[in-house]
Every structure is written in structure tokens, then in C-alpha cells.
Amino acid sequence: MGEDTRLAAVVALAQGMAAARTPRESWRAAALGAGRALTGSFAALSVWERDLGRLRVLVNVGDRAADEAEFPEAEAYPVHQFPEITEFLHERWAAGGEPNAWVETAQGLAAGRPGYCHQRVAALRRRGRGSCVVAPIVLHGRAWGELYVARSTGTRVFDRDDADFATVLAAVVAAGLAQTERLEEAHRLAFTDALTGLANRRAVDVRLEEAVERHRAEGVAVSLVVCDLNGLKRVNDTRGHAVGDRLLERFGSVLSLCGAMLPGALAARLGGDEFCLLAVGPPADDVVKVADDLCRRAGELELGEGVACGVASTADPIGPVSSARRLFRLADAAQYRAKAVRAARPVVAGRQGPDDPVVRLADEPEPPRERTSAERRRFRGRP
């Protein structure tokens, strides 16, 4: 392979990883790009999970064997079976060396210095592959995992030149993984409440819009629990904001615990003392049961005064839900009702008779722009 061809392969690998929007897409782009660059028939990317002492395969691409899924759920190997990822690399780095790639064949070591690895040779033979090149991936100065590319039996065996090129490709993959990590962190910060670690209002808005679209298209039940933590102002005024923040954090933990009872539910802090749970799929009665448990647990918090909790579900008689805004407004109105009557249990929209006051209040005209927290407070302040 000429220098121009290899340069083009490196550029293609980098571009493929840069275009990835999720970690899975990044892993797949790394394996595909490296496999093509080295003219391999198969490629895989694995991560070293130090806490579990294993190499876990993230992705397999190319000519996969029957036991090789593209994104395996549980394909992992004890790291002691591949000591080069720990012992060899550590010794070389400590001496100032570089994490160079090496080649294994179905007959044993071909190029490189880690030494014969029985497990790799056995795997090559079992899966009809003639040779492989293994390139350590170093991220943030530490062994992150490995890039593995193989060729079928009967094709040209990898050589030292291929191993050197694989070392370069592994460095490009490491740079792409670092970029993916940065994007993931930016995404996490954009959709996470900094104090509680729950989702934030932006995350709720995005998920709720998607959920209502599913409801309209498939009829799936969408339920929203909105709650207001009572007593926060008193705690802030008498004990200080640091203590108030601890109350918010404790309630956030309670909300997360209760939300875990509803598969796939999103627990979020909307801002200030306002929180919510968004559930897509579970029956409305299950959501109300969880909301009831949430009220009970909140009432047991040492510093707070419980919560005012409202529930709105498309599975209840609340009329057509054609927008996320209407479901949010219904849950908001139910919460206002709970606060007004000092209810110890959740108020559920649509369950108070044919002339439900919650539904009537929610369907009053509202400003034709997205509501802010201040607008929600004014909404609750209406007589």
C-alpha cells in the first residue's frame, strides 16, 4: 500500500469518527476504518475494564463468526489471558517506550515483541483467520484498550510494516475517542441539572415532544408527574442555601429511586423547587402508585414539608393530547390543585368527574409562547 493510499485511509478513519454522534457510532467507525485501512476481513475494538479485570469487546465488524455480534452484550475476556495489555505495555511505557502494535498468526507470533499468546492463536484457528494485528490504544496517558484487525486464512499475512501502520491508526482512534468523550460530556452537561444530577428542563422538553409524537402515532401511554417541593424557602431563610441545596439533592435521590420503579422513566429537576417524572409506556395506575410513594417518601424527609404532586396521563379522560405543552399544563394544573388543597397524595388530572376542575383550569387560554418558570408560578396563582 502506497503512502498516498495510507494517508487517505487515515483521513477517512478520522473523518468517520468525527462524524459519529454516539459512542457506538464512534466505535463502529473506528473498527471499520481500521479494517479497511489494513485490508482486513474483520476488525474489533475492545476496552480494558480495570475494575472488572477484563477486556470487553465493544464492536465487531466485517466477516463475523457465529459467536460474534456487532455490538456484543457480554463478549469479554479475562485480562490475564492477554497479559501484554497490562504487563508488556506497562513495562515498556515505564522505560519510555511506545505502545507499538504486533502481529499474531495461526502458527504463532509473526512480528512485534509481546510474545506468543495461545488464546489469540486459538481464536484465529477457530474462526478461520490466518493472522491478526493488535494495536494498543492509549487515552489520557493510560492503556484504554486495543484495536484488532484480522485477515482470513489463505490471504497475505500481516507483517512488520502493517504493525507500524496499525500503531498510527490506533493513535488516530485514540484521538477520535477523546473527541467522543468531550462531546458526550458536553451533551451530559447540556441536559443534566448540575446540583442533583437529574435531567434538566431541556432534556424533559426533548423527551416529552418525542413521547407525545409516539402517543399520536402509536397510542402509547405518556404520563407526567410534576411536583413542587414544599418548605424550601423556609429552609433557605432559616438554615441557609447550603442546607436548602442538600434538601433538593435528597429529594432528587428520592425521585430517582421512585422513578426506577417505572421502566425507562426520566427523573428531572425543572428548576428551583420543581421536579418531574416522565414515563412512556407504563399504565397510568402504575404511575399514580409511584407518585403516591413519592409523596410518602418526601413527607419523611427531615427538613422538608412534603411535596405538592400532580399527575397527567394520556391514558386518563383528559381529552386529546396533541402537544407536549398540553400534557405539561395538565400536570401543572394538577399540582396547583394539590398545593391549593394541601393534598398529601397526588392529584390526578381527569379523575375528578365529568367537570374536572384540573382539566378546566389547564384548558384556560395561555400566552402563545413557551412558558417560563415565572409564568408557571403565575398560572398557579390564578384563583
What does the pLDDT read at residue 94?
A: 46
What does the pLDDT read at residue 209?
A: 95
* Nearest CA-CA partner of 320 in 359, 351, 285: 359
Cell (9 digits) for 174: 485514540
What does the pLDDT read at residue 380?
A: 44
Percent of the chain with pLDDT over 90: 62
What does the pLDDT read at residue 382?
A: 39
Q: Are 338 and 291 in contact (CB under 8 A)?
A: no
DSSP 199: B
Order of strands across the sheet with 102-105?
76-78, 54-62, 42-49, 142-152, 129-139, 102-105, 108-111
* pLDDT surpassing 70 at residue 301: yes
Sequence-ordered strand ranges (E) for 179-324: 222-229, 266-271, 274-280, 307-313
Instruction: List pLDDT tens digits, range 21-48.
Output: 889 999 999 999 999 999 999 999 999 8
Phi/psi of residue 363, nearest 5 degrees: -90, 5
**Which band of pLDDT confidence, cut at 50, 70 and 90, is reported for residue 83?**
low
Compute the mean pLDDT over every residue in the chain, rounded to the nearest whole number.
87
**Which band of pLDDT confidence, cut at 50, 70 and 90, is reported for residue 211?**
very high
- Sign, CA dihedral 25-26-27-32, equals positive
Q: Are 174 and 137 in contact (CB under 8 A)?
A: yes
Percent of the chain with pLDDT over 70: 88
Q: Are 146 and 85 in contact (CB under 8 A)?
A: yes
What does the pLDDT read at residue 116?
A: 53
Classified as helix, coil or strand, 60 is: strand
Q: Are 306 and 340 in contact (CB under 8 A)?
A: no
**Which band of pLDDT confidence, cut at 50, 70 and 90, is reported for residue 49?**
confident
**Which band of pLDDT confidence, cut at 50, 70 and 90, is reported for residue 77?**
confident
**Which band of pLDDT confidence, cut at 50, 70 and 90, is reported for residue 60?**
very high
- Sign, CA dihedral 142-30-77-160, equals negative
Instruction: List pLDDT tens digits, range 108-157.
Output: 666 555 555 678 888 899 999 999 999 999 888 778 899 999 999 999 99
CA 167 to CA 60: how far, in whole Å?
19
Q: Are 101 and 166 in contact (CB under 8 A)?
A: yes
Instruction: List pLDDT tens digits, range 237-293.
Output: 899 999 999 999 999 999 999 999 999 899 999 999 999 999 999 999 999 999 999
What does the pLDDT read at residue 69?
A: 94
- Sign, CA dihedral 56-62-68-70, equals positive
Show the DSSP H helices in 104-240 as ranges: 118-126, 160-190, 201-218, 232-239
For the chain, helix, strand, coil in percent to 5 are 45, 20, 30
Rg, C-alpha atoms of the chain:
28
Instruction: List pLDDT tens digits, range 182-206.
Output: 888 777 788 889 899 899 999 999 9
- Average pLDDT of span 345-370: 80
**Which band of pLDDT confidence, cut at 50, 70 and 90, is reported for residue 325?**
very high
